[in-house]
Chain A
Amino acid sequence: MAECFDEMWGDTGGLRAPYRGFHDWFAEEDPKRLRAKQREAEEIFRLTGITFNVYGRAEAEERLIPFDIVPRIMSGTEWHRLSRGIEQRVRAINAFLHDIYHNQEIVKAGRIPQEMIARNEAFLPHMIGVAPPGGVYTHIVGIDLVCTGEGEFYVLEDNARTPSGVSYMLENRETMLQMFPELFSRNRVQPVQNYPANLRRSLAACAPPAAGVDPVVAVLTPGIFNSAYFEHAFLADQMGVELVEGHDLRVVDGRVAMRTTCGYKAIDVLYRRVDDEFLDPLNFNPESQLGVPGIMDVYRTGGITIANAPGTGIADDKAIYSYMPEIVEFYTGERPLLQNVPTWRCSDPDSLAYVLDNLADLVVKEVHGSGGYGMLVGPTASKKDIAAFRRKLKARPGNYIAQPTLSLSTVPIFSRMGLTPRHVDLRPYVLVSPEGIRITPGGLTRVALKKGSLVVNSSQGGGTKDTWVLED
Chain B
Amino acid sequence: MLGKTANGIFWMYRLLERAENTARLIETGQRIALTRLNEPDAEWRPVLQSASVLDAYLAANETVTKDAAVDWLLRSHENPSSVLCCIEQARQNARMVRTALTGDVWEAINATYMHARETLARKVGERDLPNVLRALRQQAALVRGMTHGTMMRNEIYDFARLGTFIERADNTARILDVKYYVLLPSTLAVGSSIDNVQWESILRSLSAKGGFRMEYGSKLAPREITHFLVLDKRMPRSLAFCTSKIRDNLNYLNRGNRDPGPSLRLVSQIEQQYLSHDLDQIFEFGLHEMITELLGAFSGLARQIELDYRFYE
| Most A CB within 10 A of own CB, among B2, B95, B107, B309 | B2
- Residues B95-118 near A (CB distance < 8 A): 95-96, 98-99, 103, 106-107, 110-111, 114
Task: Report yes or no: B110 in contact with A47, Cβ–Cβ below 8 A.
Answer: yes
Contact of B99 among A48, A224, A243, A260 (CB under 8 A): A243
Task: Report yes or no: A237 in contact with B309, Cβ–Cβ below 8 A.
Answer: no
Complex: A248 Cα to B99 Cα, angstroms: 15
Query: How far in angstroms is the closest Cβ of chain A from B99?
Result: 4
Complex: A243 Cα to B5 Cα, angstroms: 9
List of A residues within 8 angstroms of B114 by Cβ: 46-47
Query: How far in angstroms is the closest Cβ of chain B from A168?
Result: 16
CB contact under 8 A between A260 and B95, given known A48-B103, A49-B110: no
Complex: A288 Cα to B67 Cα, angstroms: 46
B contact residues, total (Cβ < 8 Å): 22
- Residues B275-313 near A (CB distance < 8 A): 309-310, 313
Complex: A213 Cα to B72 Cα, angstroms: 56
Task: Report yes or no: A236 in contact with B99, Cβ–Cβ below 8 A.
Answer: yes
How many A residues touch the partner, as a band? Answer: 20 to 34
Task: Report yes or no: A224 in contact with B3, Cβ–Cβ below 8 A.
Answer: no
Give the secondary structure class of B's interface.
Answer: helix
A233 at the interface (CB under 8 A from B): yes
Task: Report yes or no: A242 in contact with B99, Cβ–Cβ below 8 A.
Answer: yes
How many inter-chain contacts with C-beta < 8 Å in the A-B complex? 56
Query: How far in angstroms is the closest Cβ of chain B from A178?
Result: 13
Complex: A48 Cα to B107 Cα, angstroms: 6
List of B residues within 8 angstroms of A136 by Cβ: none
Contact of B98 among A47, A233, A244 (CB under 8 A): A233
A314 at the interface (CB under 8 A from B): no
Task: Report yes or no: B309 in contact with A261, Cβ–Cβ below 8 A.
Answer: yes
Task: Report yes or no: A260 in contact with B111, Cβ–Cβ below 8 A.
Answer: no
Complex: A48 Cα to B310 Cα, angstroms: 30
B92 at the interface (CB under 8 A from A): yes
Complex: A438 Cα to B5 Cα, angstroms: 32
- Residues B1-56 near A (CB distance < 8 A): 1-6
Q: Mark A228-250, 1 if CB is under 8 A from B, else 0.
A: 01000110110000111101100
Complex: A87 Cα to B131 Cα, angstroms: 59
B224 at the interface (CB under 8 A from A): no
Cβ-closest chain B residue relative to A223 = B96
CB contact under 8 A between A261 and B3, given known A47-B111, A49-B110, A224-B92: yes
Task: Report yes or no: B103 in contact with A248, Cβ–Cβ below 8 A.
Answer: no
List of A residues within 8 angstroms of B4 by Cβ: 244-245, 247-248, 259
Task: Report yes or no: A244 in contact with B95, Cβ–Cβ below 8 A.
Answer: no
Task: Report yes or no: B3 in contact with A259, Cβ–Cβ below 8 A.
Answer: yes
List of A residues within 8 angstroms of B92 by Cβ: 224
Task: Report yes or no: B310 in contact with A259, Cβ–Cβ below 8 A.
Answer: yes
Cβ-closest chain A residue relative to B159 = A261
A-B contact pairs, 16 of them (CB 8 A): A48-B106, A49-B98, A224-B92, A224-B95, A233-B98, A234-B98, A242-B2, A248-B3, A259-B2, A259-B310, A260-B1, A261-B2, A261-B155, A261-B253, A261-B309, A263-B310
Interface of B toward A, CB cutoff 8 Å:
1-6, 92, 95-96, 98-99, 103, 106-107, 110-111, 114, 155, 253, 309-310, 313
A244-B2, A259-B3 are known contacts; what are 14 more A-B pairs with Cβ within 8 Å?
A: A47-B110, A47-B114, A48-B106, A48-B107, A49-B95, A49-B98, A233-B95, A237-B99, A243-B98, A247-B4, A258-B2, A260-B3, A261-B310, A263-B310
Q: Which are the 6 A-B pairs with shortest beta-carbon distances?
A: A233-B98, A261-B309, A237-B99, A259-B3, A236-B99, A243-B99
